[in-house]
A and B are shown apart, each in its own frame.
Chain A
Amino acid sequence: MSHATGLKYLKKDSLPLMWCSGCGNGIVLAALLRAFEELGYGNHNTVVVTGIGCWGKADDYITTNALHTTHGRALAFATGIKAVNPKLNVVVLMGDGDGVTIGGNHFIHAARRNIDLTAIVVNNCNYGMTGGQFSATTPADSFTSTTAYGNPERELDICALAGVAGANYVARGTVYHGRALQNHIKEALNKKGFSLVEVVSPCPTHFGRNNKMKSAVNMLRWLKEKGVTREEYERMTGPEKNGYFVIGKLADRNAPDFNTRYEEIRARALGQ
């Protein structure tokens, strides 16, 4: 059996990618495009919606329909598309700043509404494009260009938020664990209702450099070491858990999505 390469969804005339060397975005893009291929997505029935940020530039490299929106609002635009055309595959690419900091409210409500979108949030723990300022997912005490003495705030657990808000599918992967990541993305795309894949990813240019992981290799080592299974994580006690995060599938359910619910309500309105 031949392996999907995803290359047919890559706009070759846009190469080289604008991302820094050592950035994880290329790995996520490759995983996404291979998943498209494995699922047989067409360019015409797929819309990639992005916000503003490094990962939000991904639409420039993809051959499907695309909508590059405003900072933090990609889910809102995507919601409108899906609401009027449920047949479309709508995939939303956001970073941690875009998706869950400025766009946190939309993230909560897209999950609560369970609208059939797939959100791929690349979490590199800072605002890469604007020079490495801290975001809602920057770990406490970390150094960024706006936390010179360490971050006084705590980091947000994106997956836990999506889970409690009602997402049908939640998984966390890293760019080190490439094969698992591709499977999570494929499962998320296949899932009806709101699905989230958080991808922990290196930003050697900013977050890494500011936090003693200047080389991309160091950052990949960090992902390899700190990303653990739920079982491994639960075996740890108290302070041992510091710096570690769970990877794998975290929620999987089949609550009816927004469009299904709306059609039920429509039938009621029409007295059927």
Chain B
Amino acid sequence: MQKNLITILFVLGVLLTGTAQESGSVLIKNATLITITDGVKEDTDLLIKDGKISSMGAGLSVGSEVKVIDAEGMYVMPGIIDAHSHIAIDAVNEATDPVTAQVWVGDALNPFDVNIYRALAGGVTISHAMHGSANAIGGQCETIKHRWGVTDPEDMRMKDAPRTIKFALGENPMRVHGEGQSIVPATRMGMEQVFRNSFEEGKAYATAWKNFASGKSKTPPQYSLQKQTMADIIAGDIIIHCHSYRADEILMLMDVLEDYGVNKICFQHVNEGFKVAPELAAFGAHASVFSDWWAYKFEVYYSTAYNAAILAKNGVVTSINSDSRELIRHLYHEAAKSQKYGGLSDEDALKLITINPAIQLGIDDRVGSLEKGKDGDVVVFSKHPLSIYAVPQYTIVDGVVRFDINEDPSDMRLDIDPEEAIPTFMEKTEHNHDDSCLQDVQGHFSHKH
């Protein structure tokens, strides 16, 4: 009880001071370091100084002001990165149009979402907050750091992370717009046209502004954030993350992108990726998959738990994602499943939730491995993270301990509604497998019988 109150006061203190991007220093002693990019170092210390990994070695020491964690017998790995998530945002789908490239979930960040803290408890330090899959070209996404305790949405952003955007293929956009609105795209043929039209518009828009700048045309074209965004994709400023299942539509999108000179793409879900792994590798496309989740709708029946391993062994940069506020809490189990089925090495299995998603988000120069100079985002496990007995003990973001299993009060709310009734019991209202990709669009299905 006493401990709880102290922690609550600490949290409130953070709330009141409205910390700017806070970084800290921590020394972790005598741990087994799983560096991901440079093997495993036993009985080694790791020092994070002012938010960055400053050294790894034996017998490191610091002044008394720096927090020291004795991690003897424990394992330290880079903070887990989830390349597909919808936590910490107040809106997921602007499901009113097949193309909403102009919207941005970074506008709806919610630092008070307790799922951030729960993800930290699963060792996840970064997630890719994505627009949903209702539209062919959905909104732009945001790469966030799980700095639980900050109240300014700005402080959640991973500054300078590349821009990303959600695309979606197949049934979801066809159902929402083709069936729901009786407009294109009603079929997979229509899907391709939506992409081509939008890229054409983006191209023409960029030319129109170029002509105005050069004086070739006297008056400015009408401003359009949507077309501007398409132009930015063509210019290579935005990484596409595309919701996809079937091999044929995956090949289709790569064809379209090739025609517009776009090559930054990560296919999401990509359950039939194993069928086109060599083609994905040749294109340089990435894949972010579930370990063993499928058959939740018709287009996702043909699938395998060997998907991640097949993709990885074919040279496709592959990650395992959650797409769920529940699954995000045990991505290390999901990585272990891929290892069990596909026979990946420990390192390759852990790459699926660290350096590989970092590459897919364009942030691998800063996170995803234990390297000097990288961000101090690490998680301390009680056992090897691929062991079913492993439990995260500390999750550290920028050198700040954001989760400590020994200081884990039950009431972690940051924003309290004074009129809210205090719940004395919790009713189970969440699905086990909530497809949050289609959050905010229930209304569009209400008449589908």
A binds B: no
